[in-house]
Amino acid sequence: MPVEENDKSIVLRLASGATAEIYLFGATVTSWKVEGKERLFVSSKSALDGSKAEIRGGIPICFPIFGPPPPSPPEYAALQQHGYVRSQNWSLEHIIMDREEGISIRLSAPPPPAEFNHEYSLKYVVTLSPHQLSTDLHVVNTGKEDFKFQALLHSYLAVKDSKKIVVKGLGNGTEWQDKTDGLKVKVWDGSDLRITKEVDAVFRKVPGQEIVVLEDDGGSITIRFRGFEDSTVWNPQEKSGKNMIDMEENGWDRYICVEPGYVREFKILAPGEEFLGQQILTVPH
């Protein structure tokens, strides 16, 4: 069966051998394999059963905020870091396509917690093709007033050694916020990014909306995004990584987070309006 659902997750399998697994907890994609190689990192110390607030790895979804909560309004100020969606139990709504060249499923988020009194519909479409994984977040304002949110796909991309990768495509003149330097807003000079120390950078309006992670053995992964305009690049290295209780020993050497999102400000949807944020991950044929 190309789409298998058990009580915890959904597994997609293509005839090409590509597979993906999506946990209902947080609609977190926890595995994406192409030619037998795992392309996402999940910490071996991560709980996958909902006993912790999130899964440490894969592709958690940040919504309706990214990062720490804003000071106001009160229902946003009361939210946990990155919002609650990554720790909600989603459900499989529909198998959109189930063919040899691609499988596509749609998941549906439960309503928000009672304290967050906004009405919206949140769906997630995951599409697996032989060398590509697309993850699309659909938000519709189903309420009678404007609805504001931030959204981001927190992708932990597996690499052999984060200290040997090059991140390309951040643009020349792109404004970015350096969370390791008191949230200072700086201007990127067009160079490639390398991980020599902790990096926690939010790039605003990335031109071209295409970032490439290159490994020293020629391997690569391309991250394209639409609707999402910004992207975080995050790797804590030992400095902050060792303080994360669910991070495996030296886990920071085995991934780079490139996180497309709409996060430099709040996106405001009028009643009935829809937002589509798309991420497309591709590995070479």
Binding-site residues for substrate, in ranges, read 56, 81, 86
Contacts of 129 (CB under 8 A, 6+ apart): 14, 18, 101, 102
Q: How far is the CB of 53 from ligand BG6 (least distance, A)?
A: 8
The binding site comprises 56, 81, 86
- Is residue 254 within 8 A of residue 213, CB to CB? The reply is no
Its sign, for the CA torsion 254, 256, 257, 258, is: negative
Q: Which is nearer to ligand BG6, 114 or 245 (CB)?
A: 245
DSSP-assigned beta bridge partners for residue 43: none
Residue 144's CB: how many other CB atoms inside 10 A? Answer: 9
73: preceding bond cis by omega (within 30 degrees): yes
- Measured in residues, the chain has a length of 285
CB of 261 to ligand BG6, least distance (A): 9
Q: Which one from 21, 54, 229, 259 is the annotated catalytic residue?
A: 259
Residue 233 is which amino acid? V
- Output 135 or 232, the one with its CB closest to ligand BG6: 232
Catalytically annotated residue among 54, 82, 154, 229: 154
Of the pair 138, 179, the CB lying nearest ligand BG6 is at 179
- Give the number of other CB atoms < 10 A from CB of residue 279: 25
Choice between 19 and 135, CB closer to ligand BG6: 135
For the bound state, the minimum distance from the C-beta of residue 154 to ligand BG6, rounded and expressed in Å, comes to 6
Q: Which residues bind ligand BG6 (CB under 6 A)?
A: 54, 81-82, 154, 179, 200, 232, 234, 259
Query: 285 an active-site residue?
Result: no
Active site residue 154: yes
Closest approach, Cβ 194 to ligand BG6, in A, equals 18
- The residues annotated as belonging to the active site are 154, 259
